[in-house]
Structure 1
Amino acid sequence: MAISEDNSGLFPIFILTMLTLLVVPCTIIKLCRAASKKAKAVSCQCSVCSRSVKYDKSIFKKILSVSTWSNLILLLSWIMIGVLVDYVNHLDHEIEVFNPFNILGLQFGASDSEIKKAYRRLAVQYHPDKNPDPDAHKYFVESISKAYQALTDPISREHFVKYGHPDGQQGFKMGIALPHFLLNIKGSSGGILLLCIVGVCILLPLVAAALHLLKLRNYTVNNVRIPTIASYYMYMKPSLSPSKLMEVYVKCMEYLEIPIYWTEAECLKKIFTLVRSELNVDLRNIKQELAKFFKHHPALVKAELLVQVHLTRQTEALSPRLQKDFKRMMEPAPRLLNELMKIAVVIRPDLEHGWLRSAISVMEFSQSIIQAVPLSARKATSAYPEGYASFLQLPHFNDSVVKKIARKKVKTLQEFRDMKTEDRAELLSQTAGFSAAEIQDIEAVLDIMPSVTFEISFGTEGDEGIQEDDIVTLQGRVTLKRANGLTRVLPHAPLYPFPKEEYWWLILADESSNRVWYWQRLSFMGDRVENGSRLVKGRFLTLCEGNYDLTWYLLCDSWIGCDKKKKVKVKVKVVKRARGVSEEGPVLEEGEDVEEEIEEEEDDEGYDTEYSKHEGKAVASSSALDDEIKKIQSYLAGF
């Protein structure tokens, strides 16, 4: 027999084992992901960014940065493991095999006289007549008496010496490490055991899988709602200006789900008055336009006004509740703009191409959001051929400073950057009245402002030239340089409330027909960048026969005035396939050559491609997308 056949003492060990099996792999995965993260980027060092809350280096801020739900749950799990380990090490009674010699305090093989003396000594201490303590009585009956009987009975003693148990050879027993009160519910221990097996081994994994699939069903890989993608696809047009793109951008489920309170009406009307010059309204009939504007969907009205108040840099006019909603809107903005850009450039099954002008507008809108620059500042005028928005992203610049600089014939950001440091400092101090510290801030931002160059070639295999429905392979390198020599730097964006990495969109398009042939999203924050240069490689299908003047665009989603545009020096004539020899090859511009082959680099890693024509068809023609479009239409129609 055993001292305790109750398995409830094993329950803490069972919980400790199961918890360890879950927590240890999760911790290893977390550590591996942290070790493989991108190299830490350097943030802007100007005084404006240093005062920004998002770059707060305090201990409290660092704690908050790692205080995610998953990290907190992992930390609590390790604390629970530590408590259970301590509890198991300090159990009041240990679960061990019945040993009568140890109970009587004797050495193995003690004589009969020694056994009797030990029994008498313990009887004086624990016998009920000598010790009224109930625990002493229980210990005397269940342990001391049984140990004495086992050693004084020759058969029991022989069994113990031979098999390690007074009752002889024991069979294999199996129990469940659950608390005793659960196993004694009217004899239903078998049902409890079955319930635990079904719950832990079947139901728990099924629930976890169902929750994961439910999230996948409602969100994209970039954590954007599926109805948002449907809405963007439905409202996207071939040629949208940034101001018209605002109406498409705010029609997302992330913004429609922000709660609306009637107490916000007065504050929103004040915001309308502040940003009325940026809205498409008749300023001569402001009262009628106000009433007309507020007849739209309340969530759309609120979202557009909050975006406009950010672009015009007047967020201090927001109430505390609207400030909270504003941050809630700005947090998913980069992801939403990324999906909006994909919708603009994705190949549509009915057109077999994306839309260039809408893609450029999305990038201009993204730059305005990150830099908090009004959309009206991007309009070209006689005084500012490229608009003056690019100047407003510099610290301490405003409309009046830009006008003063323009009088000195500095009308574009590139002209301002090309000036010598001494000449630029003299211009800023004498014309704009900036102090030495403010000039230093401007120079710090100019030092991290990127300049990009790229060389890309494309062609097909063989000597037949580019023919209709050929798969064209492109290959090249994009190089990013900054004045301070760094590559991984976060953009200067003090008014955007969250840290933001810069991304670049490489687009090959036909300007005249508004067609996007190829697109790819690039980042210089990863390990695949060498000395500021990264490989670009991809494929795309040619369109119908004809001559095409193509243009490469390299657009930044964070900086204004850093985009690059480069004409392809080749007019490609796409010819229909003949049965025998090919008809014609590429038609070249005068004085230009075309490479007939593109050597494959040994290392094919280090590049990302997003070019599939069939992917575009899948996105556009799926029945799930049609269902989501109908949901969006019915949702908006309800208001």
Structure 2
Amino acid sequence: MLQYDDSAFYFFALSSIIFYIVPSWYSIIKKVSAALFSSDESIGAVSRTTAEEKKAADLKKNSKGLKTLSSTGFIVNFVITVALSALFFWLYLSVQSNGEVNSFDPFTILGIDTGADLKEIKKAYKKMSLKFHPDKNPNNPQAEATFMMVAKAYEALVDPVAKENYEKYGNPDGKQSLAVSIGLPEFLLDTANRNLVLVAYLIIMVGVIPFAVWSYYSNSSKFGEKDVMYDSYAWFHHNLNEHTLVKTLPETLAGSAEFRQRNMPKSQDDKEEIAKILNKVRSHMNKPTYNHPVVLKGNVLLHAHLTRQTEILSEASQEDLKYMLRYSSSLVDAMISVCKHQESLGAALNCIKFSQCMVQAMWLKDSELLQLPHFTENEVKHVVAKNIAEYIKVPNGQKKGLKDFTEEQKQDVFKTCRLLPDVTVDSKIFVDDDEDDKVYEGDLCTVLVTLTRNNLADGEKAGLVHAPRFPYPRREAWWVALGTKEGKIISIDKITNPSKVVEHKIKFLAPRKGTYEFDLYVMSNAYVGFDHKVSVELTTLDASSLPEYKVHPEDAELDDEPTLFEEMMNANIEDDSDSEEEQDSDEEEEEEGIRELSAAEKKKLELQNARKKAASAAGDDSDDDDDDEVEEVYNDK
């Protein structure tokens, strides 16, 4: 029997707190180190040309320094962690000073020195028993528990049996079974704190915990794949179809659920600003389908970005635009997944083109050459090349449109031309594990797409996309789509592998007999004008023309062998038949025995009758001899 104290609670509290503060401090230290010591490359603040300098500076400003740690979530977590760490330190000191969980020590309980004589023991017992007697401490469970401990301590020092149990087992009651419980603070036993404990318990169990569960569930239930809200998916399903055009996609993106709270105009000045921007970009916009303030504001801000007119935006509107562009990548991927679900190839390709335009801040009628730094419509007019892919292959000394550029600006153009992708696409269709090149209907076909980045050296990886006007770093990736001539999607996947040579496999079942032509698209996620379209031809043969498949004799024997289930069933049937046969045999033997017994009895009766007749003729003296003769005859029979 142990004396109740707070030591067990201290250990329990220390072990509980450490589960929170250790991962929390790890997260805090990681965020602080990232804010103070992270490299420019890790946050995407890379300035390869002078055009990227402003973007790199903004990324450093927003991703490095103590200012980046000013978010509400970080501050709240930091305060809670510091408070729990202080509590942990105080508990640790308490454990260090008096941290041993009390064992049964009668001398300590009675407050006397070890080895005290009987007189001192009785005196201490009398004093403490009077002090903690239940009659003097009514409704005090702590005093009652102490009184019982004092009685046990006295018994362990005075009673011979109890003393022997204490010395042998550490308890006056003898050997005890192991008991496990949660260490609770001692003040919970105090009746004065009963109401406070009940109120705290009620608040935590009825208020705090249900609210935390409801908050977590309500927030997590709003999001689906790729951390996109379910309402956004529903919005995309409503607006996207096979007739969707690129010029309608800004409005579709603006209606995403992620932007509805932020893009709601807060004042009349916001509405007037949106109307002013609308007049500037109206000529580049498709006629709005929805006049809702949230959708209209997002649509206008996106067009300001696509037409490179962000200088007309206020600081607040620029922050709202950056917020939209921050989530644009995952939202466009969600739009493509919706198109894939609808099997609409044209709409999916238009979503990819829209993503390219957003990254490069270009719109439909803009020249591809505007992706080059410092280029405007004036420089584009002097370029002879038809597209940007041709322009980057022109030797640097022969490139047009650079007449008015400084030497530094020219070097920016040359560097960018080396960064822009130069991709070769190869495709091959085949059937796995097939010796010949023939494809029959129902075969599992594989289209092997090989993407080679010619602008990279062996072992080099593709870096960040050169996009000075997109406020966030973007990794180079490629969409690979296979579709029918009728515009149905067979497969569409995003390749993020940055290697020089990348292979991607598309698998599908071969259609019916005939010749088919499929369209294979390889499109960049961030650059305009580098897309590839390859025609894939497939001829399938009738499966009936395949040679007859002959089963090997050994395989046929294996097929004839009964399965485990059949063997079990056959064994049960044989057991049943054996038991029936045994039963029939026993019945036949029994009937035969009955027939034999009846014949013997009949013969016995005949012999008995003969004996009676002989006895009546020969007299009584011959009865014994006759009996013996009858028995011998009967036995012989």
| Same fold, TM-score > 0.5, yes or no | yes
Shift, 1:419, TM fit: 1.7
Q: Which moved more, 1:95-104 or 1:224-233?
A: 95-104
Q: Distance in 2 between matches of 1:445 and 1:412?
A: 15
Tell me if 1:11 matches 2:12.
no
* Corresponding residue SS for 1:271: helix
What is residue 467 of structure 2 aligned with on the other side? 493
Q: Does structure 2 conserve the Cα–Cα contact (< 8 Å) formed by 1:101 and 1:147?
A: no
Match of 1:452 among 423, 426, 440: 423
Query: Paired residue for 1:416?
Result: 391
Report whether the alignment pairs 1:179 with 2:185.
Answer: yes
Shift in Å, 1:520: 1.7
From the superposition, tell whether residues 275 and 423 of structure 1 become closer, same or farther in structure 2 (CA, over 3 Å): same
Match in the other structure for 2:363: 374
For residues 284 and 520 of structure 2, the distance between their equivalents in structure 1, rounded to whole angstroms, comes to 31
- In structure 2, relative to structure 1, the CA distance for the partners of 1:148 and 1:370 (3 Å cut) is closer
Counterpart contact for 1:224–1:336, Cα < 8 Å: yes
Q: Given the superposition, is the C-alpha separation of residues 296 and 70 from structure 1 closer, same or farther in structure 2, using an over 3 Å criterion?
A: closer
Tell me what 2:344 maps to: 354
8 Å contact kept, 1:278–1:376: no
Within the alignment, does 1:250 sit opposite 2:254 as a pair? yes
Aligned-pair distance for 1:9?
4.5
Which digits, 9 at most, give the CA deviation of each residue in 1:512-546, with x for residues without a partner? 53333332211024xxx4xx222312312345665
- For 2:265, the equivalent position in structure 1 comes to 260
SS in 1 for 2:365: helix
Supply the distance in 1 between the matched residues of 2:67 and 2:92 (Cα, whole angstroms).
Answer: 35
Aligned positions of 1:84-483 closer than 5 A: 84-91=87-94, 93-94=98-99, 95-97=101-103, 99=105, 110=115, 112=117, 161-164=167-170, 175-184=181-190, 214=218, 217-257=221-261, 258-263=263-268, 264-280=270-286, 296-344=291-339, 346=340, 348=342, 353-355=343-345, 357-377=346-366, 388=367, 390-403=368-381, 405-406=382-383, 409-424=384-399, 427=400, 429=402, 431=403, 433-460=404-431, 462=434, 465-468=438-441, 470-482=443-455
Q: 1:111 to 1:457 in 2, by over 3 A?
A: same
| Deviation of 1:164 (Å) | 3.9
Work out the CA distance in 1 between the residues paired with 2:29 and 2:512: 51
Q: CA deviation at 1:484?
A: 7.2
Q: How many Å apart are 1:327 and its aligned residue?
A: 2.3
CA 1:567–1:162: 2 relative to 1, 3 Å: closer
Cα deviation per residue 1:9-66 (whole Å; 9 max; x = unaligned)? 433432332343466689999999x9xxxx9696452223232257634697266778
Whichever residue aligns with residue 447 of structure 1, its letter is R
Rate the CA distance shift 1:551–1:154 in 2: closer, same or farther, 3 A.
closer
Q: Determine the C-alpha separation between the residues in 2 that align with 1:359 and 1:423.
A: 38
Q: CA deviation at 1:575?
A: 5.4
Paired residue secondary structure (1:565): strand
Contact 1:40 1:488 survives alignment (8 Å): no
CA distance in 1, matches of 2:539, 2:176: 90
CA RMSD of aligned residues (A): 4.8
Report the alpha carbon displacement of residue 437 of structure 1 after superposing the two structures with TM.
1.8
Q: CA deviation at 1:266?
A: 1.2
Q: Which runs of 5+ in 2 are unaligned?
A: 34-40, 128-142, 549-637
The TM-score normalised by the length of structure 1 is 0.65
The 8 Å contact of residues 482 and 520 in structure 2, kept in 1 or not, is answered as yes
Shift of 1:399: 1.6
Relative distance call for 1:422 and 1:509 in structure 2 (3 A) is: same
- In structure 2, the residue corresponding to 1:534 is in which secondary structure? strand
In structure 2, how many angstroms separate the alpha carbons of the residues matched to 1:515 and 1:185? Answer: 75
What secondary structure is seen at the aligned counterpart in 2 of 1:248?
helix
- Residues 308-357 of structure 1, C-alpha deviation per residue, up to 9 Å, x if partnerless? 0111222232223323322222221111111222233x254xxxx432x3
Taking structure 1 as reference, are residues 547 and 213 closer, same or farther at Cα in structure 2, changes over 3 Å only? Answer: farther
Distance in 2 between residues matched to 1:477 and 1:65, nearest whole Å: 42
Contact 1:504 1:555 (C-alpha < 8 Å) held by counterparts = yes
1:17–1:488 CA distance, 2 compared to 1 (3 A): farther
Contact 2:24/2:81 (<8 A) preserved: no
Bigger shift: 298-307 or 498-507?
A: 498-507
Aligned-residue offset at 1:420 = 1.7
Letter of the 1:556 partner, please give it: S
Q: Does the Cα contact within 8 Å between 2:7 and 2:102 map onto a contact in 1?
A: no
Determine if contact 1:54/1:498 at 8 Å carries over to the other structure: no
Q: Is the 8 A contact 1:554 1:565 kept in 2?
A: yes
Q: Distance in 1 between matches of 2:277 and 2:174?
A: 89
Q: How many Å apart are 1:184 and its aligned residue?
A: 4.6
**Contact 1:44–1:445 (CA under 8 A) maintained in structure 2:** no
1:342-389 Cα distance to aligned partner (Å, 9 max, x none) = 233x254xxxx432x323322221111111113331xxxxxxxxxx1x
The structure with the largest alpha-carbon Rg is 2
Distance in 1 between the 2:285 and 2:305 partners? Answer: 13
- Candidates 562, 565, 569, aligned match of 2:530: 562
Distance 1:542 1:212 in 2: 47
8 Å Cα contact 2:17/2:88 also seen in 1: no
Measure, in 1, the Cα distance between the counterparts of 2:505 and 2:409: 42
Say if 2:251 and 2:298, in contact at 8 Å, map to a contact too. Answer: no
After TM superposition, give the deviation of residue 456 of structure 1 in Å.
2.5
Aligned length: 505
Asked whether the 8 Å contact 2:14–2:91 carries over to 1, the reply is: no
Aligned partners of 1:325 and 1:469: how far apart in 2? Answer: 52
Amino acid at match of 1:567: S
2-side partners of 1:455 and 1:542: how far apart? Answer: 20
Tell me if structure 2 keeps the 8 A contact 1:545–1:574: yes
Contact 1:478 1:534 in 2 (8 A): yes
Distance 1:467-1:261 versus aligned 2 partners, 3 A rule: farther
Higher mean C-alpha displacement, 234-243 vs 293-302: 293-302
Give the whole-Å Cα distance in 2 for the aligned partners of 1:294 and 1:573: 45
Q: TM-score, normalised by structure 2?
A: 0.65
* Structure 1 position 160, deviation (Å): 5.2
Matched residue SS, 1:301: helix
Contact 2:21-2:85 at 8 Å conserved across structures: no
Question: Which SS does the other structure have where 2:448 is aligned?
Answer: strand
3-state secondary structure, aligned to 2:347: helix
Q: What is the DSSP-based 3-state SS (H/G/I as helix, E as strand, rest coil) of the residue aligned with 2:281?
A: helix
Q: Is 1:523 aligned with 2:496?
A: yes
Could you tell me which amino acid in structure 2 is paired with residue 478 of structure 1? L
Question: How high is the sequence identity, in percent, across the aligned residues?
Answer: 22
- Select the residue among 513, 525, 539 that pairs with 2:486: 513
Aligned CA distance change for structure 1 residues 478 and 68 (closer, same or farther; 3 Å): farther
Task: Give the Å deviation of 1:576.
Answer: 5.6
What does 1:551-630 correspond to in 2, within 5 Å? 551-568=519-536, 571-574=537-540, 577-578=543-544
Q: Output one character per residue of 1:529-581: Cα deviation in whole Å (capped at 9) or x when no partner.
A: 4xx2223123123456653333321101111122223333xx32345654866
Q: Provide the C-alpha distance between the structure 2 equivalents of 1:449 and 1:319, rounded to a whole number of angstroms.
A: 32
Residue 596 of structure 1 corresponds to none
TM-fit CA distance, 1:112: 4.9
Aligned CA distance change for structure 1 residues 443 and 483 (closer, same or farther; 3 Å): farther
Question: What SS class does the counterpart of residue 443 from structure 1 fall into?
Answer: helix
Q: How far, CA to CA, are the matches of 1:211 and 1:478 in structure 2? A: 46
Question: Of the two structures, which has the highest relative contact order with CA contacts closer than 8 Å and spacing of 6 or more?
Answer: 1
Distance 1:322 1:14, change over 3 A: same
Q: What residue identity is the alignment partner of 1:437?
A: E
